[in-house]
C-alpha cells in the first residue's frame, strides 16, 4: 500500500521552481534514498510532507490525506539543521517527545543514549554539534512512526559516526514503516537502501530498486549517480 | 495539547524571569527593614536598595516584553519552528498557547510587584502598625458594603485590561508574521508592519469613535475583540498557509 504519494506536486518560490509536477509513489516497509544534487528539491519535498510548506499546485498525500495533525502524528521528521531548543536538557527533551507523540518509546531512547554515552542531564547548548545530531537522530528514531523523513541525517558527522547512525536507522525503524533518507552522500547510505529516487530540478528522473539499478547498469548507485549528474 | 504547549512555553520563560522576581523580593525585604532608619548606614542601604529595586523592576518589564516577542519569533519562526510545526498540533493551538503564555507572564509581573509592595509594608511596620492595619481593613469590610455593581465594574475593568494586553500581543505577533513573508530583512518588515497596523488602527478608531462614542464598557470590549480577531486571523493565515521557515 502506498504510504506517501505525490501527484503533479509543484512548488515555486517566486520565479524559482523547486518541484516541477512531481509524481512519486512510495510503499511501506522500504528504506528509500532521496538522491539528488543541491537544489534538486529534496528538502522542499520533505517540508511539504511535514506541512512546513504548502504546495503551489498538485498534492502530496500521506496515508491518503494531505499533511495535517493526524499525519504529523505518524510521521517522524529529522530536519537538516539543529532544531531543538538549546536551553533544554536531554531528559527534558525526552519528556517533551513523550508528551506530544504517543508513539514515542522513551525506554528505547534512553537505551540508545546510554550506548552512545550521551550525558542526559546536560543542556543541548553544552553538547558538541556531532552529539546534538545524535540526540536529534535518537529522538526521531525512537518513535514507532509509519513514516520517517530524514533530511541529510549524516551530512554533519564524521565517517565513523555515519556508520553508527545508519545502523541506528536500520535497526530501529518499525518494520512496516517507510524510511525516506535524503542525501547527496550516496556511497555512505547505499548499503542500507532498498530503493533509490533520483531527483533533478524538481522532477523524479529515476525510481527503482537498488538491485535493479546495479543489474541494469553494472555499476554501484554511487557511480551511476555520478554519471547521471555529471557536470 | 494546548496545556502542554503552554507548560513548555512557561518553562522556557520561567528560568529567566523567576531569578529576577527573586531579586525583587530580596530587595523588598531589605527596603522594608531599612525604611525606618533616617540616618547612618541603614539609610544608605535603604537608598541603594530602593534604586536597585526600581532598576530591576524596569529590567523585568523590558525582559518580559523582549521574551514575549522572542518566544514567538524563535520558537515558531526560527529553527525551533521545525520542531514545533512538526508536532501534531494545529496552528491555532500554537497561536493561542503563545497568547495565553504572554498574558500569564504579564499577570505574573503585576503579581510580583504587588507581592513586593506587601513585603515592604510588612517588614517596615511595627507590631502595633500591623494590628492597626488589620483593624482598619476589618472596619473597611464592615462599613463599606460591596454591592454587585462594584464587583461587575471591577470585573469589566479587569477584562478590558486583559483584552488590551492581548490585543497588543497579537498585534506584535501579526507584525512578526507579516515580516516573515519577506525573504530577507524580516525584522525590518515586522517593524514596518507594526507601524502600518498602528496607523490603520488610529484611522479606523477615529472614524468609529464618532459613531460609537465609546460610552459603554461593552462597546470597548467588543472593539478590542474585533482587533484581536483581525490580528489573530492575519497571524493564523500566514503561519498556516504561508509558512516558509529559513
Q: What's the rounded mean pLDDT across residues B139-148? A: 67
B80-92: pLDDT as tens digits: 999 999 999 999 9
Kindly identify which residue of chain B lies nearest to residue A87, measuring between CA atoms.
B12
Decide if B244 contacts B180 (C-beta within 8 A): yes
CA distances from B192 to B65, B179, B188, B195 (A): 19, 8, 6, 5
pLDDT at residue number A145: 95
CA A151, chain centre distance (Å): 4
Q: Residue A181: helix, strand or coil by DSSP? A: strand
Decide if B55 contacts B49 (C-beta within 8 A): no
Give how far A182 is from chain B: nearest CA, Å: 16
Taken as a whole, chain B contains a residue count of 246
Contact A100 B241 (CB under 8 A): no
pLDDT at residue number A19: 97
Classify strands A147-151 and A75-78 as parallel, antiparallel or unpaired.
parallel
More confident residue, B38 or B116: B116
Contact B15 A84 (CB under 8 A): no
Q: Name the band, by pLDDT with cuts 50, 70 and 90, for residue B38.
A: confident
Q: Which three cell numbers stand for residue B229?
A: 480577531
Give 3-state DSSP helix, strand, coil % of chain A, rounded to 5: 35, 30, 35
Touching check for B184 and chain A: CB below 8 Å?
Answer: no
pLDDT tens digit at each of 231 positions of chain A: 799 999 999 999 989 999 999 999 999 999 999 999 988 999 999 999 999 999 999 999 999 999 999 999 999 999 999 999 999 999 999 999 999 999 999 999 999 999 888 998 999 999 998 899 999 999 999 999 999 999 998 887 778 878 888 888 888 777 789 999 999 889 989 999 999 999 999 999 999 999 999 999 999 999 999 999 987
- The pTM of this model reads 0.92
Decide if A166 contacts A189 (C-beta within 8 A): yes
Q: What's the rounded mean pLDDT across residues B3-30? A: 96
pLDDT at residue number A193: 95
pLDDT at residue number B162: 93
CA distances from A154 to A85, A119, A163, A187, A196 (A): 21, 21, 9, 12, 17
CA distances from B209 to B202, B203, B218, B226, B228 (A): 10, 10, 14, 14, 18
pLDDT at residue number B50: 93
pLDDT at residue number B111: 96
The percentage of residues in chain B with a pLDDT greater than 90, rounded to a whole number, is 65
Residues in CB range of A179: below 8 A, 6 or more apart: A30, A31, A32, A148, A150, A169, A173
pLDDT at residue number A156: 74
Give how far A217 is from chain B: nearest CA, Å: 38
Phi, psi of A84 (to 5 degrees): -90, 145
Residue B123 clears pLDDT 90, i.e. is over it: no
Touching check for B160 and chain A: CB below 8 Å?
Answer: no
Q: Residue B53: helix, strand or coil by DSSP? A: helix
**Cβ atoms within 10 A of the Cβ of B126, count?**
9
**Cβ atoms within 10 A of the Cβ of B134, count?**
10
Q: What's the rounded mean pLDDT across residues B174-179? A: 96
Q: Which three cell numbers stand for residue B15?
A: 528560568
Contact A52 B86 (CB under 8 A): yes
pLDDT at residue number A177: 94
CA distances from A16 to A11, A20, A51, A201, B182 (A): 9, 10, 20, 10, 16
Residue B39 clears pLDDT 80, i.e. is over it: no
Q: In chain B, what residues touch A73 (CB-CB under 8 Å)?
A: 88
What CA–CA distance (Å, rounded) separates A170 from A33?
13
pLDDT at residue number B212: 66
What CA–CA distance (Å, rounded) separates A115 from A134?
11
**Cβ atoms within 10 A of the Cβ of A32, count?**
22
pLDDT at residue number B153: 80
Q: Which three cell numbers stand for residue A39?
A: 537544489
Residue that is written with C-alpha cell 504510504 in the block: A3
Decide if B26 contacts B120 (C-beta within 8 A): no
Residue B72 clears pLDDT 90, i.e. is over it: yes
Q: Chain A interface residues facing chain B, Cβ-Cβ under 8 Å?
A: 13, 47, 50-54, 69-70, 72-73, 75, 77, 79, 81-85, 87, 92, 96, 99-101
Residue B18 clears pLDDT 60, i.e. is over it: yes
If you average pLDDT over every residue of chain B, what do you get? Answer: 90
Contact A69 B80 (CB under 8 A): no
pLDDT at residue number B135: 84
Q: Is the dihedral of CA B16, B18, B21, B23 positive or negative?
A: negative
Residue B209 clears pLDDT 80, i.e. is over it: no
Residue B214 clears pLDDT 70, i.e. is over it: no
Touching check for B213 and chain A: CB below 8 Å?
Answer: no
Residue ranges and CATH numbers for the domains of chain A are 2-228 (3.40.50.300)
Question: Which has the closest alpha carbon to A88: A126, A130, A143?
Answer: A126
Return the CA Rg of chain A. Answer: 17
Q: Which three cell numbers stand for residue A106?
A: 522513551
ipTM over 0.85: yes
Q: What's the rounded mean pLDDT across residues B40-69? A: 93
Amino acid at each position: 500500500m502506498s504510504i506517501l504519494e505525490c501527484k503533479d506536486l509543484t512548488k515555486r518560490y517566486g520565479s524559482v521552481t523547486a518541484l516541477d509536477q512531481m509524481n512519486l509513489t512510495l510503499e511501506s516497509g522500504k528504506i528509500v534514498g532521496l538522491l539528488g544534487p543541491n537544489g534538486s528539491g529534496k528538502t522542499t519535498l520533505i517540508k511539504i510532507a511535514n506541512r512546513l510548506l504548502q504546495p503551489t499546485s498538485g498534492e502530496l498525500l500521506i496515508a491518503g490525506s494531505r499533511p495535517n495533525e493526524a499525519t504529523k502524528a505518524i510521521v517522524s521528521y529529522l530536519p537538516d539543521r539543529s532544531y531543538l531548543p538549546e536551553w533544554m536538557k536531554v531528559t527534558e527533551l525526552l519528556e517533551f517527545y513523550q508528551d506530544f507523540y504517543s508513539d514515542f518509546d522513551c525506554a528505547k531512547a534512553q537505551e540508545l543514549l546510554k550506548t552512545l554515552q550521551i550525558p542526559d542531564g546536560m543542556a543541548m547548548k553544552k553538547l558538541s554539534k556531532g552529539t546534538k545530531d545524535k540526540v536529534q537522530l535518537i529522538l526521531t528514531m525512537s518513535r514507532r512512526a509509519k513514516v520517517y523523513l530524514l533530511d541529510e541525517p549524516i551530512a554533519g558527522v564524521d565517517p565513523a559516526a555515519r556508520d553508527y547512525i545508519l545502523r541506528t536507522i536500520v535497526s530501529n525503524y518499525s518494520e512496516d514503516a517507510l524510511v525516506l533518507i535524503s542525501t547527496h552522500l550516496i556511497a555512505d547510505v547505499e548499503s542500507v537502501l532498498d530503493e533509490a529516487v533520483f531527483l533533478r530540478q524538481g522532477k523524479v528522473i529515476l525510481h527503482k530498486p537498488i538491485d535493479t539499478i546495479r543489474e541494469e547498469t553494472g555499476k554501484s548507485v554511487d557511480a551511476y549517480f555520478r554519471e547521471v549528474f555529471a557536470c | 495539547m494546548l496545556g502542554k504547549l503552554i507548560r513548555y512555553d512557561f518553562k522556557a520563560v520561567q528560568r529567566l524571569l523567576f531569578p529576577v522576581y527573586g531579586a525583587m523580593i530580596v530587595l523588598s525585604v531589605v527596603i522594608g527593614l531599612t525604611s525606618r532608619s533616617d540616618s547612618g548606614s541603614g539609610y544608605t542601604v535603604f537608598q541603594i536598595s530602593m534604586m536597585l529595586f526600581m532598576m530591576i523592576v524596569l529590567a523585568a518589564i523590558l525582559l518580559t516584553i523582549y521574551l514575549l516577542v522572542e518566544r514567538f519569533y524563535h520558537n515558531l519562526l526560527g529553527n525551533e519552528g521545525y520542531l514545533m510545526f512538526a508536532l501534531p498540533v494545529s496552528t491555532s493551538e500554537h497561536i493561542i498557547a503563545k497568547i495565553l503564555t504572554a498574558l500569564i507572564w504579564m499577570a505574573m509581573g503585576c503579581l510580583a510587584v504587588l507581592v513586593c509592595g506587601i513585603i515592604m509594608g510588612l517588614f517596615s511596620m511595627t507590631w502595633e502598625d500591623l494590628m492597626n492595619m488589620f483593624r482598619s481593613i476589618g472596619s473597611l469590610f464592615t462599613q463599606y458594603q460591596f454591592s454587585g455593581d462594584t464587583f461587575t465594574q471591577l470585573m469589566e475593568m479587569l477584562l478590558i485590561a486583559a483584552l488590551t494586553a492581548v490585543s497588543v500581543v497579537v498585534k506584535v505577533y501579526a507584525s512578526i508574521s507579516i515580516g516573515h513573508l519577506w525573504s530577507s530583512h524580516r525584522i525590518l518588515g515586522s517593524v514596518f508592519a507594526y507601524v502600518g497596523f498602528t496607523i490603520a488602527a488610529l484611522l479606523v478608531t477615529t472614524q468609529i469613535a464618532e459613531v460609537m462614542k465609546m460610552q459603554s464598557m461593552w462597546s470597548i470590549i467588543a472593539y478590542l475583540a474585533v482587533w484581536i480577531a483581525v490580528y489573530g486571523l492575519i497571524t493564523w493565515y500566514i503561519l498556516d498557509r504561508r509558512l516558509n521557515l529559513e
